[in-house]
Amino acid sequence: MCGCSTPWRHTVNRLLETCAVSEELPVPLARRAAELGRRARRGSAVDAIVVTSAEPGRVILSGDVEDLGALAPYANGVRIERV
């Protein structure tokens, strides 16, 4: 058990255990995100980093399907699904 005090925290921690969490952004990833943003002409830098991090071929679950969806066609096999 994670030492969580609520079921919600336990669920969040279980989700985070399945994610790749990084504290720094590698330069190649930043450059690729900039390329996606330039090509899509939409979305924030964070949106572009999220989509780039999902390459190749992963699914992003988000409520922000408009901006992420504008970037996804320029990414390698990334799909966006609304939650």
Tens-place pLDDT, residues 23-57: 788 999 999 999 999 999 988 999 999 999 999 99
More confident residue, 60 or 64: 60
In a domain, 14, yes or no: no
Q: Which domain holds residue 60?
A: 23-82
Q: What is the mean pLDDT of residues 59-64?
A: 90
Residue 78, C-beta contacts closer than 8 angstroms, at least 6 positions apart: 51, 54, 55, 56, 57, 58, 59, 60, 71, 72
For residue 41, the SS3 value is coil
The answer to the question of residue 12 being in a domain is no
Tally of domains in the chain: 1
Q: Is there a domain that residue 3 lies in?
A: no
Instruction: Give CA–CA dist 81/19, Å, rounded.
Output: 17
Residue 15 inside a domain? The answer is no
Q: Establish if 1 belongs to a structural domain.
A: no
Per-residue confidence at 5, pLDDT binned at 50, 70, 90?
A: low
pLDDT of residue 1: 47
Between 10 and 78, whose confidence is greater? 78
